[in-house]
Amino acid sequence: MNFYDYAPESRFLLGTAGYPSPEILGQAIEASGTEIITVSLRREGGAGGAFRDLLTRLNKRVLPNTAGCHTVKEAVTTAHMARELFNTRWIKLEVIGHADTLQPDPFGLVEAARILCEEGFQVFPYTTEDLVLGEKLLEAGCQVLMPWGAPIGSGQGLRNIEGLRTMRAWFKDVPLVVDAGIGTPSQAALAMEMGFDAILLNTAVAKAQDPVRMASAFRDAIHAGQQALLAGPMERRDMAAASTPVFGLAEFN
C-alpha cells in the first residue's frame, strides 16, 4: 500500500482533535502505532506553539485536513495555508455539503481536488462510496480515495456494507481508506477483512473513557483484520457443514 510517495507499515491513521489533554493525545498516538496523524489547520492554530511542539516530539507524518470547509474557495485556501505551515504536499480534502450529516459535496469536492492536484498537492479526498464520484476524483488526479463508513463522529460503523464492497471490488488497484463513522474496533476489523487498505478515525478514540487503551484496541483490531484477509477467510455457506466427518465415527448398536 502506497500513499503517493510513502508506504506506511501501520494501517491506522489517527486524528488529533477533541482529546482530554495534550498528554493523553500524545499517549494515544504512541499506543496506536500510527505513522500518520491528521491535523486540522484551525485546531493547530487554536493550540498554538504547544501543539506544534507536541507534533515535533511525536515525529509522525502529518496529514493536514480542510475540516469545516463548505466551499471550494475555502478548502483550496485552507490547503495552501496548511502546505506552508506543515511543509507538506499532502492534504486531506473535505468539502462539506450537508450540515447535519457532514456528507461531502460531490461537485465541490471534485472541483477542489482538480485545482489542488494541478497545483502539485497530493490529495486524500473524503468521499462517499459512490463509484461515479470516485472515478471523477481519480480523473482529477487523486491517487487515494477515502470513503466514509458513516457520518463523521457518529460511531455507526459501516452503514452501507454492500456499497463499500462494490467500491473495493471496482477500485481494486486504488488505496482505499475508510474514513469517518467507525466507532468500535470490531467495525474497523470488518473493514479490513473486506479488503480496505487502512482506517482513519478520531472521535472513537478521543471520546473513549480511556483513549489510550482504545487506541491500542484499534491498533490490534486493524492488524487482526488485515491478517484475516491475508489468511483467506472461509466462504460463507447457506447451510451447515459438519466440521467432523461422519467416516470413522464409533457405531453404537
pLDDT of residue 101: 84
User: Which pLDDT score, from 0 to 100, does residue 41 have?
Assistant: 77
Q: Is 112 annotated as a binding residue?
A: no
Distance CA 73, CA 62 (A): 23
Whether residue 180 is annotated as binding a ligand: the answer is yes
Residue 245 forms part of a structural domain:
no
**Does 169 map to a domain?**
yes
Quote the pLDDT of residue 46.
45
Contact 122/90 with Cβ under 8 angstroms?
yes
Residue with cell 467495525: 187
16 assigned to a ligand binding site: no
> Average pLDDT of 23-29?
93
For 118-144, write each residue's pLDDT tens digit: 999 999 999 999 999 999 999 999 999
Report yes or no on 71 lying in a domain: yes
Say yes or no to pLDDT of 222 above 80: yes
Residue 197 lies in a domain: yes
At 43 the pLDDT is 47
Mean pLDDT for 146-171 is 95
Does residue 66 belong to any structural domain of this protein?
A: yes
Q: Is the pLDDT of residue 187 over 90?
A: yes
pLDDT mean over 177-191: 96
Greater model confidence, 141 or 253: 141
Structural domain count of the chain: 1
- 33 among the known binding-site residues? no
Spot the catalytic one: 60, 73, 92, 207.
Answer: 92
**Domain containing residue 69: CATH number:** 3.20.20.70
Q: Which three cell numbers stand for residue 25?
A: 493525545
Is it the case that residue 239 has pLDDT exceeding 90? no
Residue 45: C-alpha distances to residues 68, 76, 159, 162, 215 (Å): 14, 17, 33, 39, 25
Q: Does some domain include residue 243? A: no
Answer whether residue 253 shows pLDDT above 70.
Answer: no
Q: pTM of this prediction?
A: 0.90
**pLDDT tens, residue by residue, 44-101:** 444 456 777 787 788 899 999 999 899 999 999 999 999 998 899 999 999 998 888 8
> Is a pLDDT exceeding 70 seen at residue 246?
no
* Assigned C-alpha cell, 171: 477500485
Q: Is residue 135 part of a domain?
A: yes
> Is 73 known to be catalytic?
no
User: Could you tell me the pLDDT band of residue 214, with boundaries at 50, 70 and 90?
Assistant: very high
50 lies in a domain? yes
Determine whether the annotation assigns residue 17 to a binding site: no
**Which domain covers residue 24, as residue numbers?**
12-230
